[in-house]
Every structure is written in C-alpha cells, then in structure tokens.
Amino acid sequence: MSTTIFEDLESNVRSYCRNWSAVFETARGSRLRAEDGQIYLDFFSGAGALNYGHNDPDLKRALIDYLAADGVVHSLDTYTDAKRRFLVAFEEQVLRPRGLDHKVQFTGPTGTNSVEAALKLARLNTGRTGIVTFTNAFHGMTLGSLSVTGNAMKRNGAGVPLPFVATAPYDRYLDDPSWSFSWLAKTWADASSGVERPAAVIVETVQGEGGLNAARAEWLRRLEALCRAHDVLLIVDDVQAGCGRTGTFFSFEEAGITPDIVCLSKSISGYGLPMALVLLRPELDVWEPGQHNGTFRGNNAAFITGTAALEKYWADGGAFERSVAERGRQLSTGLSKIAARVEGATCRGRGLLAGVHFPDPDLAERIAAAAYERRLLVETSGPQSEVLKTMPALNITREELDEGLDILLEATCAVLA
Ligand code: PMP
C-alpha cells in the first residue's frame, strides 16, 4: 500500500502512543489476525471495551439480524424498539436484582461524556461547585473529566484542573488511610477551614489507568458514610472496572455501597460500539429537558449488542460470573509468578483487571514490548507506566489465559536476562 502523510497508519498527530506496529485485519474472541498472517493474543481488550472479546458470535448475530431488517441505527432522542429492549433488559437484569431504583440516562458516546454528565448533575443538584477526586484517578479527556484526573502529564497543556477540583489521597496512598477521611470530614464540617463542602466525590474502585490501585471494601464503605454524613454525592466511575470486569457486574457490589451516580461505558455495548450512560438516584433527576443532550446518545446498534450482552451475562444462572471469578484467580496466580521474579514487585488490581507493579519504572514497558514481540497485546498503567496491566476478555478460555501468562513470564525472563 502506498501511504501518504500517515507515516505509521494510525494518525499523524503526536498524541498517539504507537506501541504496536502490526496492521490488524480480523479478530475473533481473544485473537487478532494481522495482515501478515500473524495471530496475536489479546490481553488488552480495547482497554475494557471488549469484555466479551472480539465479534462474539451471539452479539454479532443480533447486530446482523437487526441491520438486515433495516433497524433504526441513529435515533438521538426518539423512542426506538432497540432502546426500549435495552432499558427493559437493564432494569430486569441489572437494577432490580440489586435493589437499585436508579434512573438511566444515556449521555454521549464515550466514558468521558458520562463523567461530564455526572459532574454537572452533582453541581446542579447541590448548588455547590466543588468536586473531590483522588490521587492517580483517571476520568477522561474532556475539560471537566480531565480536571478530576490525577495525572499531571495528561492534564498539562490543557490548563486544568478547573478551580473547583480538590484531590484527596486514595486508599493506601498514605501510610495511614484514615487520614483522608479525617481531613475531608474536618474541612467539610468546619466553616472556618475555608474549604467549601463539595457537590460530590468521584472515585474508581480500581484505578484502571492510575496503576491498578484497588480500594478496599472497608475504605469504600467509609467513603460512602462520610459522603452521606455531609450530604455530599458519591459518584462511582465504573467505566473501566464495571460490566463484570472485577467479578461482579458493578465493581462496587463487593463493598455493598450504593453510589448516588454511576458512570458506565466501555463494555456496556458488549461489542466495542460507543455507548455511555449514568445511573442516578431518581430524586437527582432535576434536569430541564435538553439541559444535557448530544447527537450520539441514541446508538441503536449499541443497544442491540448491549441487550444481547446482558442476556449472555445472565444466561446460565450465574455461571458466567462464576467463570470470571475463576479466571480472575487463575490470572492472579500467573501474575504472582511474574512478580516473584523481581524483588519488590507486587500484584495489583482485582478480578480480570490486574497486573504487576515494578519498582523499576521501565520494566513494565520493556516486558510489554517483549510480549508484543511474542504476539501478546498487553498494556501498562500508572503515572510512570510502571505497572504491567492485563485485561483479558471475560470469556477468555482457561487455555488461552494460560498461554498468555506463559508468554508474559517468558517475556519477563527475557527482559531480566
Ligand atoms: N473513566 C475511566 C475510569 C476510564 O478508565 C476511562 C477510559 N480509560 C474514562 C473514564 C474515559 O472513557 P473514554 O475514553 O471512553 O472517554
């Protein structure tokens, strides 16, 4: 192929990462095929957008049937059968069994749009402006969501954070984690502190981009109690950790907390199609009609695959969730073997969002590069990319997971040699 100004086929803008040079043509399950015929194993899963792998046959069939019948693809705010089916499935299979009476709002196509909606909603409801976020958080790339992102490199150049954002220490960031709570509680309660009580706190239960730090259930419960005591809204950003990735549909289920607002995106369509939503307590629905809208809120192709994905998730009486938990244990065992090779390396994360933190910040990148040479796609995470991050599809087979773990161990040994 003769290329023009697109020297490396992705884009000619500098902000892309360009870790992988292969040109992929087809993909199925956890495997991608490059144009040179090489087959790659996927431990990246579109950063969590492909929890069901590539082109899952059931989801693909639902989509093909819908398109073959000339189903509406773009609908924005109009009612469609596909949207209704998704909402009914979501209520019956996600909300009601968990005792959640939250309303569902489609926000815009991507995770960052759901975070924007959540921040705006919190401010609109409370009449307050402040948002508390945490060290190493990642919430998106638009100005509001970037403002609550705890990564200076990503914020630099955009002139954010916006003035209403404060950053508190995430669980285990400090030696004494209770310090975050006493600091917040005192400043919020004390009018002379000069700190305005915020509209909301936004938190990830596992910091997917920020280094796979996983908050403990107890820490999350204390955070919820603190927010309740001070009438501050709790937003859980489940864009990356949600949709089954940590072993339960919502990542916060294990902690038994009920956020006021939940952000979901990435794997909610199940097929890598753009879709995002927020869940909000019914009393928070104070929007004026049209106050938060967007052209691509009605992606019916995503509703179709999203409905099929929900059916798949619960099709066999919880067997899917149990197998995710099993794969999670298998992953954790494999990652511990890698961590054991390097002094001071530790395992991070939860479920199928897990990795290894290395004391030498270059090691994770070098191992990921060595894994790519062995045709395994794997990413890094953390402020200095010091965490090797694995996110296999939730339906990866035991054998595929072992194969990928073997490659990772081999890549680690090759880098250390
Ligand atoms: N929140 C979290 C927790 C994320 O991990 C991401 C994306 N990595 C986003 C928000 C932003 O999502 P998107 O890239 O789809 O805008």
Q: Where are the beta strands (DSSP E) in 299-400?
A: 346-350, 353-357, 376-377, 379-381, 387-390
Atom of ligand 1 nearest to the CA of 274: 15
Distance 181 CA to ligand 1 centre (A): 26
* 137 CA → ligand 1 middle, Å: 10
For ligand 1, atom 13, name the residue with the nearest CA: 111
CA distances from 278 to 268, 297, 302, 335 (A): 11, 12, 16, 33
Q: Is the pLDDT of residue 69 over 80?
A: yes
The CA-based dihedral angle spanning residues 263, 268, 274, 279, taken in that order and rounded to the nearest 10 degrees: -30
For ligand 1, what atom is nearest to the CA of residue 112?
A: 16
Residue to substitute in 15, 106, 138 for testing ligand 1 pocket (most ligand atoms within 8 angstroms of CB): 138
Residue 58 Cα, ligand 1 centroid: separation in angstroms?
26
pLDDT tens column, 333-355: 999 999 999 999 999 999 999 99
pLDDT value, residue 12 = 67
Q: How far is CA 156 from CA 147, 149, 150, 152, in A?
A: 10, 11, 11, 6
Instruction: Please give the number of the atom of ligand 1 that sits closest to the Cα of 113.
Output: 16
Give 15-70 as a DSSP string. TS-------EEEEEBTEEEETTS-EEEESSHHHHT-TT-BS-HHHHHHHHHHHHTT
Atom of ligand 1 nearest to the CA of 145: 10
Percent of the chain at pLDDT > 90 equals 84
Q: Which of 265, 267, 269, 380 to mutate to test the pocket of ligand 1 (most atoms within 8 A of CB)?
A: 265
Strand, coil or helix: what is 320? helix
Indicate which atom in ligand 1 lies nearest the CA of residue 47. 8
pLDDT value at position 4? 59
Q: List the residue whose alpha carbon is closest to atom 1 of ligand 1.
A: 139
Residue 256 vs residues 99, 188, 236: alpha-carbon distances, Å = 11, 25, 13
pTM: 0.96
Torsion, Cα of 249, 253, 254, 255 (10° steps): 150
Q: What is the pLDDT of residues 170-188, one digit of tens each?
A: 999 998 878 888 889 999 9
Quick one: pLDDT band at residue 11, thresholds 50, 70, 90?
low
Probe ligand 1: pick from 116, 146, 240, max atoms within 8 Å of CB? 240
- Interface pTM, i.e. ipTM: 0.99
CA of 266, closest atom in ligand 1: 15
d(CA 303, CA 81): 10
Interval between CA 331 and ligand 1 midpoint (Å): 23
pLDDT at residue 89 tops 80: yes
Q: Which helix (H) or strand (E) holds 165?
A: strand 165-168
C-alpha 74 chain-centroid distance: 25
Cβ contacts of 317 within 8 Å, gap of 6 or more: none
CB 352 within 8 A of CB 394: yes
Q: Which tokens belong to 277? A: 């939503």
3-class SS at 377?
strand
Between the CA of 65 and the centroid of ligand 1 the distance, in Å, is 30
Mean pLDDT of 381-404: 97
Is the alpha carbon torsion for 398, 59, 101, 109 positive or negative?
Answer: positive
- Give the CA angle between residues 109, 250, 231 to the nearest 5°: 90
- What is the atom index within ligand 1 of the atom nearest the CA of 115? 10
Cα(410) to centroid(ligand 1), Å: 31
Q: Which two tokens stand for residue 315?
A: 């099709």
Paired tokens of 7: 């020297």
- Asked if residues 131 and 352 have their Cβ atoms less than 8 Å apart, the reply is no
Measured in Å, residue 244 CA sits from the centre of ligand 1 at 16
Higher pLDDT: 8 or 134? It is 134
Cβ proximity of 365 and 355 under 8 Å: no
Are 84 and 302 a contacting pair, CB within 8 Å? Answer: no
**Of 31-40, 119-128, 135-144, 157-166, the least confident:** 157-166
Distance 240 CA to ligand 1 centre (A): 6
Angle of the 319-339 helix axis to the 398-416 helix axis, nearest 10: 20
Quote the CA–CA distance of 27 and 35 in Å, as a whole number: 11
Which atom of ligand 1 lies nearest, measured to the CA of 276?
15
pLDDT exceeds cutoff 60 at 1: no
**Residue ranges around ligand 1 (CB below 6 Å):** 47, 110-112, 115, 138-140, 204, 208-209, 237, 239-240, 265
Mean pLDDT, all residues of the chain:
94
